[in-house]
Amino acid sequence: MSKPMSFEEPIIKLKEKIDELRELAKNADVDMSDEIKTLEERLRQLEIKIYSNMEPWNRVQVARNPERPTTLDYIKEIFTDFIELHGDRYYADDEAIVGGIAFFDGQPITVIGHQRGKATKENIRRNFGMPHPEGYRKALRLMKQAEKFRRPIICFIDTKGAYPGKAAEERGQSEAIAKNLFEMAGLKVPVISVVIGEGGSGGALALGVTNRIYMLENSTYSVISPEGAASILWKDASLAKQAAEAMKITAQDLKEMGIIDDIIPEVPGGAHRDPVSQAKILKEYLKKGLDQLTALSEEQIIQDRYDKFRKMGDFIEEIVQ
Amino acid sequence: MAIKSLLNLNRKKTKGVIVNSKNESSFPADLMTKCPSCRKIFLTKEIETNLKVCPNCDHHFKMTAWERIDSFLDVESFTPFDEHLRTTNPLNFPSYIEKVEADMKKTGLSEAVLTGSGTLKGEEVVVAVMDSHFRMGSMGSVVGEKITRAIEKATEMQVPFIIFTASGGARMQEGVISLMQMAKTSVALKRHSDEGLLFLSIMTDPTTGGVSASFASLGDLNIAEPKALIGFAGRRVIEQTVREKLPDDFQTAEFLLAHGQLDAIFHRKEMRDKVATIVKLHRKGGVTHV
Question: Would the pLDDT of B2 be above 70?
Answer: no
Site from B145, B149, B187 to mutate, A interface, most A CB atoms within 10 angstroms: B187
- Contacts with A, B 43-62, CB within 8 Å: none
pLDDT band at B7 (very low <50, low <70, confident <90, very high): very low
Per-residue pLDDT averaged across B59-88, rounded? 97
Task: Write down the pLDDT at residue A102.
Answer: 98
pLDDT at residue A90 greater than cutoff 90: yes
Q: CATH says A66-311 is which class?
A: alpha beta
**B253 chain-A contacts, CB cut-off 8 A:** none
To which H or E segment does residue B117 belong?
strand B113-120
Residue B79 known to bind ligand: no
Q: Which residues of B touch A179 (CB under 8 A)?
A: 217-218
Is B54 labelled as part of a ligand binding site? yes
User: Does A162 contact B189 at a Cβ distance shorter than 8 Å?
Assistant: no
Contact between residue B201 and residue B216 where contact means Cβ atoms under 8 Å apart:
yes
Question: Is-contact B62 B204, C-beta < 8 A?
Answer: yes
The predicted pLDDT at position A192 comes to 98
Q: What is the three-state SS of A137-154?
A: HHHHHHHHHHHHCCCCEE
Q: Identify the band that residue A2 occupies on the pLDDT scale cut at 50, 70 and 90.
A: low
- Say whether B275 counts as a known binding-site residue: no
Indicate if the pLDDT at residue B82 is higher than 60.
Answer: yes
**Domain spanning B62-282, CATH class:** alpha beta
Q: What residues pair up with B96 in beta bridges, in sequence order?
A: none
Cβ distance B182 to A202 less than 8 Å, yes or no, reads: yes
β-pair partners for B129: B114, B164
Contacts of A306 (CB under 8 A, 6+ apart): A185, B187, B191
Tell which B residues from 139 to 198 touch A, by Cβ distance under 8 Å.
Answer: 141-142, 144-145, 148, 170, 172, 174-184, 186-191, 193-194
pLDDT of the residue at B26: 45
C-alpha distances in Å from residue A184, one per residue of A116, A176, A194, A248, B203: 23, 12, 15, 26, 24
**Secondary structure class of A99 (helix, strand, coil):** strand
Contacts of B99 in chain A (CB under 8 A): none
pLDDT at residue A221 above 90? yes
Residue type, A89: R
Residue-level pLDDT at A8: 85
pLDDT exceeds cutoff 80 at A98: yes
Q: With an 8 Å Cβ cutoff, are A181 and B170 in contact? A: no
- Chain centroid to Cα B141, Å, comes to 17
The verdict on a CB contact (< 8 Å) between A165 and B241 is: yes
State yes or no: pLDDT of B46 exceeds 60: yes
**Model confidence, pTM:** 0.92
With bands split at pLDDT 50, 70 and 90, how would you rate the model's confidence at A212?
A: very high
| Mean pLDDT across chain B | 90
> Is B226 in CB contact (< 8 Å) with chain A?
no
Please state, in angstroms and as integers, the Cα–Cα distance from residue B194 to each residue in A185, B124, B152, B189, B191, following that order: 11, 19, 12, 8, 5
Which amino acid type is present at position A166? K
pLDDT at A42 over 50: yes
Rounded to 5°, the CA angle A262-A83-A93 comes to 90
Query: Looking at residue B244, what is its pLDDT?
Result: 77
For residues A191 and A198, give the distance between their C-alpha atoms in angstroms, rounded to a whole number: 19
User: What's the one-letter identity of residue B152?
Assistant: E
Q: What is the pLDDT of residue B207?
A: 98
Q: How far is A162 from chain B (nearest CA, A)?
A: 9
Give A142 to chain B, closest Cα distance, Å. 19
A42 with A49: CB under 8 angstroms?
Answer: no
Range of lowest pLDDT (A172-176, A261-265, A267-271, B198-202): A267-271
Instruction: Report how far residue A320's alpha carbon sits from residue B14's, in angstroms, rounded to the nearest whole number.
Output: 23
B9: confidence class by pLDDT, cuts 50, 70, 90: very low
Domain boundaries, chain A: 6-53, 66-311
Taking contacts as CB-CB distances below 8 angstroms, the residues of chain A near B85 are: 315-318
Q: What pLDDT, on the 0 to 100 scale, is given for residue B275?
A: 98
Closest approach of B57 to chain A, Cα-based (Å): 27
Give chain A's largest Cα–Cα span: 87
- CB of B22 within 8 A of CB of B59? no
What is the identity of the amino acid at B250? Answer: F
B182/A172 Cβ within 8 A: no
Question: Which contiguous run of DSSP H or E holds residue B250?
Answer: none
Evaluate if residue B34 carries a pLDDT over 60: yes
- Taking an 8 Å cut-off on Cβ atoms, the answer to whether A164 and B194 are in contact is no
DSSP one-letter code for B53: B
Check pLDDT > 60 for residue B28.
no
> How large is the average pLDDT for residues B69-74?
97
- The burial class, CB within 10 Å (0-12 / 13-18 / 19+), for B248 is exposed
Q: Are B208 and B237 in contact (CB under 8 A)?
A: no
Confidence of residue B10 (pLDDT cuts 50, 70, 90): very low
**Are the beta carbons of B204 and B165 closer than 8 angstroms?**
yes
Q: What is the DSSP string of A237-252?
A: GGGHHHHHHHTT-BHH
For chain A, say whether B96 makes contact (Cβ under 8 Å): no
Please tell me the distance in Å from A310's CA to the nearest CA on chain B.
5
Residue B38 labelled as part of a binding site: yes
Q: How far is CA A127 from CA A94, A160, B37, in A?
A: 9, 11, 37
Q: What single letter denotes the amino acid at residue B216? A: A
Q: B217 vs A172: CB contact, 8 Å cut-off?
A: yes
- Residue B91 to residue B111: CA distance in whole angstroms: 18
- What pLDDT is attached to residue B1? 38
Per-residue model confidence as pLDDT tens digits over A16-34: 888 888 888 888 877 888 8
Domain locations in chain B as residue ranges: 30-61, 62-282
pLDDT mean over B56-67 = 96
Strands A97-104 and A80-84: antiparallel
B101-144 pLDDT, tens digit per residue, is 999 999 999 999 999 999 999 999 999 999 999 999 999 999 99
As a whole number of angstroms, the distance between CA A117 and CA A70 comes to 8
Check residues A37 and B211 and name the one with the higher pLDDT: B211
| pLDDT range class, residue B239, cuts 50, 70, 90 | confident
Q: What is the pLDDT of residue A52?
A: 80
